[in-house]
């Protein structure tokens, strides 16, 4: 039996927080009261969550010289960064203004995340799982997804389409290669609208949206769907049935929900890896899936009660045993 190992092909960012009294308006120049630089990028966040959940994980991506600290930071947390290249451009960057009332505005600069790294002909045979988001070049995401199924045995593929790809890109995703789609409620609604070419009414229940999405032409019906619902928990649909799980109960107030979805995704993938379902993902039973979802909602509930993104992701042993 192979030791489960996940490849995350994704983004790394310098997240720069500028604290301001009010968000800057067009034409205005204002002082920031506090500056912080933190590690970010969905690829990095989700890779850290897998590592903290106890999984073996390699991150494949790129930074500029100004991101070498990120490589060291991630390596220290337990993410293998041997496949993170240092390229001749700036590291991806998120410029985040945070106002005193909690309101924020973000500018994303893709930088090295959109650098064209050489594409492989095949994925390394050590990988059992592949996790993708949408913060790197779309052509790379497409290729890796395709390659996951030309591996022998096939690699379990998980895709979190965030930020949402364009309509055109969605039409070019090799859906047949995808085992697990992870979306939040907004992403599920947008995907459903794109596939069905219908608009979805605001209060449409999520199981209805997911069923519509599954039944729409162009979507591969055997793909398992996990839809996170913020404080309402999660809804999952597999060809064997559905599961609705409430969010885990909180010990204290919600402090910061950024990164909750990435924490959920990382713990979910680590759960799949633990169950060693790489040879036959469809054999994961509903009770096994429910156990993985339960761990994932527990981890993300801890995450929302702490400040930060990567910093707020708990380790496996912080979860209720």
**Is residue 302 part of the contact set for ligand ADP (CB under 6 A)?**
no
Residue pair 289/265 in contact (Cβ under 8 Å)? The answer is no
Print the binding letters for residues 200-229 with ligand ADP: x by CB under 6 A, - otherwise.
----------------------------xx
| Closest CB 124 distance from ligand ADP, rounded Å | 29
Q: For residues 250 and 266, what is the distance between their CA atoms, to the nearest angstrom? A: 20
| Closest CB 66 distance from ligand ADP, rounded Å | 27
Using CB under 6 A, which residues numbered 21 to 60 contact ligand ADP? none
Residue pair 87/68 in contact (Cβ under 8 Å)? The answer is no
DSSP secondary structure letter of residue 256: -
| Closest CB 17 distance from ligand ADP, rounded Å | 18
Binding window for ligand ADP (CB under 6 A); candidates: 26-34, 56-64, 210-218, 300-308: 300-308
**Is residue 304 part of the contact set for ligand ADP (CB under 6 A)?**
yes
Q: Which of 48, 62, 188, 247 binds ligand ADP (CB under 6 A)?
A: 247
**Is residue 184 part of the contact set for ligand ADP (CB under 6 A)?**
yes
Q: Is 282 exposed, middle or buried (0-12, 13-18, 19+ CB in 10 A)?
A: exposed
What lies within 8 Å, CB to CB, of 68 at 6+ separation is 86
Cβ distance to ligand ADP smaller for residue 224 or 300: 300
Four-CA torsion 303, 315, 60, 86, nearest 10 degrees: 90
| Closest CB 248 distance from ligand ADP, rounded Å | 6
The closest of 132, 134, 90 to 109, measured between CA atoms, is 90
Binding window for ligand ADP (CB under 6 A); candidates: 77-85, 122-130, 132-140, 249-257: 249-257
**Is residue 231 part of the contact set for ligand ADP (CB under 6 A)?**
yes
Q: For residues 219 and 222, what is the distance between their CA atoms, to the nearest angstrom? A: 9
Size of the residue set binding ligand ADP (CB under 6 A): 18
**Is residue 319 part of the contact set for ligand ADP (CB under 6 A)?**
no
Residue pair 238/229 in contact (Cβ under 8 Å)? The answer is no
Rounded to the nearest 10 degrees, the angle between the axes of helix 68-77 and helix 42-52 is 20
SS3 107: strand
Q: Which of 83, 216, 222, 257 binds ligand ADP (CB under 6 A)?
A: 257
Strand partners, 9: 60, 132
- Residue whose C-beta lies closest to ligand ADP: 261
| Residues in contact with ligand ADP by the rule CB under 6 A | 184, 228-231, 233-234, 247, 250, 254, 257, 260-261, 264, 297, 300-301, 304
């Amino acid at each position: 039996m192979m030791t489960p190992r996940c490849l995350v092909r994704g983004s790394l960012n310098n997240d720069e927080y500028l604290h301001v009294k009010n968000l800057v308006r067009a034409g205005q120049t204002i002082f920031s009261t506090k500056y912080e630089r933190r590690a970010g990028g969905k690829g990095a966040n989700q890779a850290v969550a897998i590592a903290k959940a106890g999984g073996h994980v390699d991150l494949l991506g790129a930074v500029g010289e100004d991101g070498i600290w990120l490589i060291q930071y991630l390596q220290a947390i337990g993410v293998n960064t041997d496949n993170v290249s240092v390229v001749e451009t700036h590291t991806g960057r998120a410029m985040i203004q945070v106002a005193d009332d909690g309101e924020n505005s973000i500018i994303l600069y893709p930088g090295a995340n959109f650098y064209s790294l050489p594409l492989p002909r095949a994925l390394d045979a050590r990988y059992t799982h592949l996790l993708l988001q949408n913060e790197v070049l779309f052509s790379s995401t497409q290729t890796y997804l395709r390659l996951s199924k030309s591996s022998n045995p096939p690699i379990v593929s998980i895709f979190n389409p965030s930020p949402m790809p364009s309509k055109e890109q969605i039409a070019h995703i090799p859906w047949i290669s995808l085992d697990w789609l992870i979306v939040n409620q907004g992403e599920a609604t947008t995907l459903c609208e794109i596939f069905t070419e219908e608009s979805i009414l605001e209060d449409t229940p999520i199981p209805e949206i997911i069923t519509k999405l599954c039944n729409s032409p162009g979507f591969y019906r055997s793909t398992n769907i996990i839809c996170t619902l913020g404080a309402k928990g999660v809804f999952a649909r597999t060809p064997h049935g559905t599961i609705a799980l409430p969010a885990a109960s909180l010990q204290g107030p919600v402090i910061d929900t950024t990164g909750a979805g990435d924490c959920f995704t990382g713990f979910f993938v680590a759960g799949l890896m633990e169950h060693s379902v790489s040879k036959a993902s469809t054999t994961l039973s509903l009770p096994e899936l429910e156990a993985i979802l339960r761990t994932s909602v527990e981890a993300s509930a801890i995450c929302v009660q702490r400040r930060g993104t990567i910093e707020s992701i708990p380790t496996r042993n912080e979860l209720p045993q």
